[in-house]
Amino acid sequence: MQEKRLNTKDLKEKAEDLRASERILLSGTVYTARDSAHKRIKEFTDKGKRLPFEINGSVIYYCGPTPAFEGLTIGSCGPTTSNRMDPFTPDLLDMGLCAMIGKGDRGREVYRAIVRNKAVYLCAIGGAGALAAKCIVGCEVIAFDDLGCESIKKLEFKDFPLFVAIDSKGNSLFNT
């Protein structure tokens, strides 16, 4: 199966064309956020505070990268289990988040929110974080530096390999 090359800036408009189980190579800006960052994002939205990045049209990667090795932009950068972010995800999708990257299946409410918002859920290969790091050409902490590896980082992907796990119609790689 041939991979589709996509850029994050085009992902929102192209999400409806993607199908579960398709392989893609993603380039462009992606933000990291895990459990602790999601809790803070929720606190921000509950208080009406501005988020540290524009959520509309954005992609969030559920990961906590390790410090960079010599000669690399970032250390190991593999996905974490996504369903831990399920309590926060429907609200973020309703705010315009167009895609999430992680590993593992999602809950029913997340499926509904993906379909409602014509978004996609993408999976990275677990256990291959050191290899994935080679596809990251930029990394900058933009919020919650005190969270260490769980701070929000702005990453620049270059042909990052992913699978479409849940498409905008609710079809799932996990149900095939």
Contact 139, 65 (CB under 8 A): yes
Max Cα-Cα span within the chain: 46
Please compute Rg for the chain using Cα positions: 15
**Dist CA 72 CA 128 (whole Å):** 15
38 is catalytic: yes
Task: Catalytic residue, from 38, 103, 106, 153: name it.
Answer: 38
SS3 track for 37-51: HHHHHHHHHHCCCCC
Q: Which residues are catalytic, by number? A: 38
